[in-house]
Structure 1
Amino acid sequence: MGRALDDLRVGWRQRQLWGHLGWQDIRQRYRRSVLGPIWITISMAVTAVALGILYAGLFGNALEDQLPYILVGFIVWAFISGCIIEGADVFIANEGLIKHLPAPISVHVYRLVWRQSLLFAHNLIVYAVMLLIFPQDLDWSSLLAIPAFVLIALNGAWVALFLGMASARFRDLNPIVGSIVQLTFFLTPIVWIYEDFLNSENPAIAERARWAEINPALHFIEFIRRPMLGQEQVWRHWYVVLAITVIGWLITLWALRRYRARVSYWV
C-alpha cells in the first residue's frame, strides 16, 4: 500500500510535467484552429439551447427555468463523462510514455483530470453568458459549487485510475464503458427536471421518480448544479457523493497496490 500511495504522491509532485502535457493535449487537438477549444463550448451551447427549447415546449416549462437547468447539466456532464470515457483509455492511449518515461502511472490520470478541468473552464463561458440572459438568485451559498467541483474531480481521478487499469487488462471493457455512459445520460436528470416529476400530482409518476435516486450520477449533477443556479442545497446529495468518494478511493487504492506494476506489461 505504501508504494501505491507513493505513486500518487510522486505523481502529484510532478505537476509541471502533467500540467504541461494536459495543456499540450488541448493545443494539439485544436492546432491551426482559430477558435480552438471554444468550438467545444459552441457545440455544447448550441445543443443545450436546442434541447432547452424542445423540452421547455414538451414539458410546458418556462424557457428561463428549463434552459439554465440544461446548460449547467451539460457543463457538468461533459466533465464527468470525459473523465469516465477517457479514463477507460488513459493507460492504453499513453502506452509509449508508460514504456519509455520513468514516471508514476498516476501522472497520466492527473493529466487527464487537468485536461478535463481546462475544458470545464472553457465551458463556463456559456454559464457566464447564461447568467447575463437569465439572472439567477445567487448568494454566498453558491460558492459551494467550488468544493463540489473538487469532489467531482477527486472522483474523476479514482474512476480514471481504476477503469484505466481494468481496461488495460481487459480491452473489451472500453466499448462497454462507452455504452453505459450513454445510457446513464438518459437516466440522469440533465435535460429533464427531476423535481417536476418528484412533485407530480400523479402518485405513480412521483413514485417512479424516486427510483432515480439510485443513479449515482443524479447526486453528482444535483449537488453542483443547485448552487450554480442559486437553488437551496439538498444535503443528501453531498452525503452520497462523499460516501462514493471514500469507498471508490479505498477500492482503487487496493487495486493500485495489487496491479500498478503490471500496467506497463498490459499496455
Structure 2
Amino acid sequence: MTFAIDTNAPMKKIVHHGSRPAGGVSLLADVHNSLRRPEFWSFAAWLDLITKYRRSRLGVLWMFVPPAMTVFLLGYFYSGLSSRNPFEFMPYMGMGYVLWRFITQVISESSGVMLSHRAFIMDGRTRFTDYVLRCLSKAALYFLAALLVVSVAFALSPEFSFMGFGTLLLTLPIFLVNLFSLGVVLALVGARYPDTHELTTTIFIFGFLLTPILWYPEHIPPGSARAMFMHANPAFHLIELVRGPMLGRPLTSITIVYVAVMTFALPVLAALLYRRYARFVPIWI
C-alpha cells in the first residue's frame, strides 16, 4: 500500500493561545487590544476592592477614611507647623497626598505584577498590558474616592474655584500616560529582577518626606543641594502638574520642560523595552 502527499494542498496555520511573533510585541497594539477588551482588568480591579472590604461593616466606605483623616487631621496639624491658614493648606497637602498615593500604588504593584499573575501568564495570557492596567485602574478607584474627600477641603478653601477642577481634564491624562509607561517599564524590570518590588517600596518610604507634600517648595533655598534634589524628583513634577493649576499656582518652566520630556521619553522607553523583552517574561518568572 502506498500513500501520496499532495504538496500543493493548503496547510492550516496553528497558533498557540499565548504565542507571540518572533520579532517582538507592539506595546501600542497590546494597549489597543486591552482597551477594546477591558473585561479582565477592569472587573479584576473592582473585585480586588470588593473582596478586601466584604467582611467589614462599612464595606467600601473604608476607602474614604484614610484620606479623610490625612487631609483634615494631619493637614490641620501641619498647617500650624507651617504657619499657614488650615483651609488653604489642607487642599494643598490633600491633593499632594492622594496623587502621591496614586503614584506609589501603581509603581509598587507594577514592579511585582508579573510574578503575582504568574498562573495567568503560564496559562498563555501574555497580553501584559492587562496586568499593568489592572494596577492602574485599582489605584484610580482609590484616587477617585480620595478626590471626593479632597474636594470638600477645596470647597472650604477661601480661594476655591471650579476652574481649578477643570484643569484636571488636561493634566490628568498626561499624568496617567506617564504613570502607565513607568508601570510597564517596572513590570518588565520586576519580572527579571524580583528585588525591584522591595527596592521601590523602600524608596517610597523616604520619598514621601522628600517630596513637597507636607511642605512648600518655596521653603527650600534656591540653588541649594536640596533644591537640586527636589527638581530632579519626577514625583514632584507629576504632582505639581496636577496640583498647581487646581490651586491657581503657575507651573514653573522647569516643571513644564521636565514633564514634556518625560511624556515623550517614558512611552518610547516602555515601547522599546516591551518589544524587546516582553517575550522573555514567561521564562523569567
Q: TM-score, normalised by structure 2?
A: 0.83
Measured after TM superposition, the shift of residue 135 of structure 1 is 4.3
Quote how far apart the aligned CAs of 1:139 are. 4.8
Q: 2:131 aligns with which of 99, 108, 115?
A: 108
| CA distance in 1: counterparts of 2:170 and 2:59, whole angstroms | 28
Structure 1, unaligned stretches of length 5 or more?
A: 199-204
Counterpart-to-counterpart distance in 2, 1:61 and 1:11: 45
Matched, 1:217 2:240: no
Instruction: Give 1:60-209 correspondences, 5 Å limit.
Output: 60-140=83-163, 142-195=165-218, 197=219, 205-208=221-224
Q: What's the counterpart of residue 69 of structure 2?
A: 46
Moved more, 137-146 or 213-222: 137-146
Q: Give the aligned residue type for 1:210.
A: A
CA contact (8 A) 1:48 1:67 kept: yes
Q: Which residue of 2 aligns with 1:227?
A: 245
Q: Are 2:273 and 1:255 aligned?
A: yes
Identity fraction in percent: 27
- Structure 1 residue aligned with 2:8: none
- More displaced, 116-125 or 93-102? 93-102
For residue 100 of structure 1, report the CA deviation from its aligned partner: 1.8
Q: Deviations over 1:91-138 (max 9, x none)?
A: 111111122253511111111111111111111121122133224332
CA distance in 2, matches of 1:207, 1:236: 13
8 Å contact kept, 1:51–1:191: no
Is 1:21 equivalent to 2:48 in the alignment? Answer: no
Q: Which amino acid aligns with 1:116?
A: A
Q: How far apart are 1:265 and its partner, in Å?
A: 2.1
Q: Is 68-77 or 4-13 further displaced after alignment?
A: 4-13
Conservation of the 8 A alpha-carbon contact between 1:73 and 1:225: yes
Q: Of residues 220, 238, 256 in structure 2, which corresponds to 1:238?
A: 256
Amino acid at match of 1:44: P
**What TM-score comes out, normalization by structure 1 length?**
0.88
State the Cα distance separating 1:86 from its structure 2 match.
Answer: 0.9
Deviates more, 1:45-54 or 1:23-32: 45-54
One-letter identity of the residue aligned with 1:217: A
| Displacement of 1:242 | 2.4
- Mapped to 1, the partners of 2:64 and 2:100 lie a distance apart of 13
SS in 1 for 2:26: helix
Alignment: residue pair count: 260
**Aligned-residue offset at 1:235:** 5.3
Q: Secondary structure, in 3 states, of the residue corresponding to 2:281?
A: helix
> Which structure's residues are more often helix, by fraction?
1
Conserved 8 A contact 2:46-2:138: yes
Equivalent AA in structure 1 for residue 97 of structure 2? F
Counterpart in the other structure of 1:202: none
Deviation (angstroms), 1:48 = 3.2
- 1:73–1:190 Cα contact (<8 Å) kept: yes
Structure 1 residue 34 displacement after superposition: 3.4
- Give deviations 1:209-266, integer Å, cap 9, x for gaps: 6322121111111111122223344454233212112111111111111111111222
In 2, Cα distance between the equivalents of 1:148 and 1:30?
31
Query: 2:90, 2:167 → 1: CA distance?
Result: 22
Corresponding residue for residue 26 of structure 2: 4
| 1:30/1:165 CA distance change after superposition, 3 Å | same
| Change in 2 beyond 3 A, CA 1:172/1:141 | closer
- AA paired with 1:247? A
Counterparts of 1:114 and 1:232 in 2: how far apart (Å)?
29
Aligned-partner residue type, residue 207 of structure 1? G
Q: Amino acid of the residue matched to residue 52 of structure 1?
A: G
Does the aligned pair in 1 maintain the 2:25–2:279 contact within 8 Å?
Answer: no
RMSD, matched Cα? 2.1
Larger Rg computed on CA atoms: 2
Distance 2:105 2:60 in 1: 14
